[in-house]
Amino acid sequence: MRDGAQAEGISFTVNDKLRIVQRLDEFGVKYIEAGNPGSNPKDLEFFEKVSLLKLKNAKLTAFGSTRRAGIMAKEDANLQALLKANTSAVAIFGKTWDFHVTDIIKTTLEENLNMIRDTLSFLKEQEKEVVFDAEHFFDGYQANPTYAIKCLEAAADAGADWLVLCDTNGGTFPSDIMSIVSEVVKKFTIPIGIHCHNDGGMGVANSQMAVEAGAVQVQGTINGYGERCGNANLCTIIANLQLKKGLKCIPEEQMKNLSSVSRYVSELANLALNERDPYVGNCAFAHKGGMHIDAINKNPLSFEHIQPGLVGNERRILMSEVSGRSTILKRIQEITPWIDKTSPETQYLMDEMKRLEHEGYQFEGAEISFELLVRRALGKDTRFFNVKDFRVICEEHWQDDYSASAIIKVQVDGVEEVSAAEGDGPVNALDRALRKSLQVFYPELDKMRLTDYKVRVLDTGQATAAKVRVHIESTDGEKVWGTVGVSTNIIEASWSALVDSIEYFLYRNHHLTENKDKKTDVV
């Protein structure tokens, strides 16, 4: 968690970090490196509050560095702050690359060894479990293997409980990781760990090769968050090692929560999840090509390496002109099982979909708009609200906040509500005004938010008169869905996608509540 918080664009509050700790503990993570109490007041406050939590699985770990050169460990202010965190385990990073010792922290090679010994001995005297993070180990080993090993020996002699080899620059190749970790494992009886960054796109592969070579601890982050290109992605590593290699990383019953944990952390980080992430991404089990879909329908093993449900994900059959007639029919039958290929409604919907896609609609990634199209065409939709009127006003000062305002009148069950709101542009103003009106009737709307908004110009030859396609992605914190709108008027296209998104949320929430009530009645 400490490394993940160092990613560009992430700034966790203390409460965010507390919530993540609780979720990771429930998930079954064994160690949580929670922060550096010597670096900022926020982490000090966090460690004060987290001590009140009763964790079942995770061991909190405070992070710091070896003492500064030329002083004793007990005199180092950062180490004193580390002790104030009051965690049973601490992670200490120390230099193992001779270049960093002489040119970056500017001390001697011998003094660096003393810094490692003195720091770890001091912490062991305080009865701490000590994880030694050998920073830049692989670069150091390739430049000066004798000195890099001496640094590990200094840590081992001082009582380190773990020796973690760090590919801090993230550029080492898997074959080199394999051979170097294999050599280190032979030399030490202390358990070895691996800590990989992803600068070469090999963070996951390097971590897994290290495990193959004998490492028994993998350091990484949920969703691969971290500095620069990020850290090794634990969501991928956990699934690979446990489902493919049979190694226990988390309790077996928790594996189905992998996708929800991934999305939970991305929500608190306020970053859109990479939908192409293995296992947990929205695209991980999405199928579009007609032949692929046909094969999946016959046997999912044909194009899926695991069952999506094992990691809490689901199969998605994308709606598009290349999906094939049988795929579209199957999607329609999920909504109306009584329809078959001979039904007149089927041909109408087929023709309507082709017409809309010819106009520029794209239902791939916006299946909810297709679902609503089917429900409306067959009279199976539930109208939760009607928009009676709306008006948008844009101000001249585009660079200012709230450069637009919107007034909307909605009607729910015969009752009208008028609301006005300002926004950063006309679409944002419309969104805020519509929510303001609807929350009078549907307070649960505060659970839903937009996570992505894309506009694509479809016919560039028409210049400013061009038709545009707007794709909106929304979430309620558990499910993510997409809707689409097309028009020569960008506000109209945005409005269409926005209304579909809110209609679906209300429909889904209504049916979830209804099903929950039925189960309660049965009990």
Task: Quote the strand ranges of 364-465, DSSP E.
Answer: 386-394, 404-412, 415-423, 449-457
Task: Tell me, yes or no, whether 357 and 216 share the same domain.
Answer: no
Task: Compute the distance between CA of residue 81 and CA of residue 131 in angstroms, rounded to an integer.
Answer: 17
Task: Tell me, yes or no, whether 368 and 231 share the same domain.
Answer: no
Which pLDDT tens digit goes with each residue over 169-208? 999 999 999 999 999 999 999 999 999 999 999 999 999 9
Is pLDDT above 90 for 471? no
Number of domains in the chain: 2
| Domain end (from 252, 267, 286) | 252
Task: Tell me, yes or no, whether 50 and 143 share the same domain.
Answer: yes
pLDDT higher at 111 or 479? 111
Q: Which residue range is the domain that position 126 belongs to?
A: 4-252
Task: Compute the distance between CA of residue 293 and CA of residue 302 in angstroms, rounded to an integer.
Answer: 10
Residues 434, 435, 436, 439: what is their CA dihedral angle, to the nearest 10 degrees?
Answer: 130
Cα-flanking dihedrals φ and ψ of residue 521, to 5°?
-60, -40
| Domain end (from 218, 233, 252) | 252
Task: Tell me, yes or no, whether 246 and 326 share the same domain.
Answer: no
237-241, 259-263, 315-319, range with the lowest pLDDT = 315-319
Does 298 fall in a domain?
no
Residue 523: pLDDT band by 50, 70, 90 thresholds? very low
In this prediction, residues 115-125 reach a mean pLDDT of 98
Q: What is the pLDDT of residue 452?
A: 83
Q: What CATH number is attached to the domain comprising 504?
A: 3.30.160.340
Does 275 fall in a domain?
no
| Domain end (from 221, 252, 283) | 252
Is pLDDT above 50 for 293? yes
Q: What is the pLDDT of residue 376?
A: 82
Whether the CB-CB separation of 150 and 113 falls below 8 Å is answered with yes
Is pLDDT above 70 for 43? yes
Task: Tell me, yes or no, whether 363 and 476 share the same domain.
Answer: yes
Task: Tell me, yes or no, whether 93 and 221 share the same domain.
Answer: yes
Whether the CB-CB separation of 421 and 399 falls below 8 Å is answered with no
Q: What CATH number is attached to the domain comprising 143?
A: 3.20.20.70
Q: What is the pLDDT of residue 325?
A: 63
pTM beyond 0.85: no
Task: Tell me, yes or no, whether 82 and 188 share the same domain.
Answer: yes
Does 230 fall in a domain?
yes
Q: Which amino acid belongs to residue 297?
A: N
Does 172 fall in a domain?
yes
Task: Tell me, yes or no, whether 25 and 159 share the same domain.
Answer: yes
Residue 377: pLDDT band by 50, 70, 90 thresholds? confident
Which pLDDT tens digit goes with each residue over 69-89? 999 999 999 999 999 999 999
Residue 142: pLDDT band by 50, 70, 90 thresholds? very high
Is pLDDT above 70 for 515? no
Task: Compute the distance between CA of residue 74 and CA of residue 86 in angstroms, rounded to an integer.
Answer: 16
Whether the CB-CB separation of 406 and 363 falls below 8 Å is answered with no
In this prediction, residues 248-269 reach a mean pLDDT of 93
Strands 129-135 and 404-412: unpaired
Which pLDDT tens digit goes with each residue over 321-342? 555 566 677 777 877 788 887 8
Task: Tell me, yes or no, whether 136 and 230 share the same domain.
Answer: yes
Task: Tell me, yes or no, whether 196 and 340 share the same domain.
Answer: no
Q: Which amino acid belongs to residue 171?
A: G
Give the mean pLDDT of the chain.
89
Task: Tell me, yes or no, whether 66 and 165 share the same domain.
Answer: yes
Question: What residue has token string 């070896």?
Answer: 66
In this prediction, residues 367-375 reach a mean pLDDT of 83
Does 233 fall in a domain?
yes
Tokens of 414: 């015969």
Does 273 fall in a domain?
no
36-45, 132-141, 487-496, range with the lowest pLDDT = 36-45
Which pLDDT tens digit goes with each residue over 479-512? 888 898 999 888 899 999 999 999 999 988 887 6
Does 468 fall in a domain?
yes
Does 290 fall in a domain?
no
Is pLDDT above 60 for 54? yes
In this prediction, residues 205-214 reach a mean pLDDT of 98
31-45, 120-134, 288-302, 484-498, range with the lowest pLDDT = 288-302
Whether the CB-CB separation of 130 and 90 falls below 8 Å is answered with yes
Residue 340 vs residues 330, 344, 392, 455, 523: alpha-carbon distances, Å: 9, 9, 44, 35, 37
Task: Tell me, yes or no, whether 137 and 237 share the same domain.
Answer: yes
Which pLDDT tens digit goes with each residue over 384-441? 999 998 898 886 655 566 778 999 999 999 999 999 999 888 888 899 999 999 999 9
Q: What is the pLDDT of residue 521?
A: 45
Q: Exposure string (b/e) for 60-96, b if CB count within 10 Å is 16 or more?
A: bbbbbbbbbeeeebeebebbebbbebebebbbbbbbb
Share of the chain above pLDDT 70, in %: 92
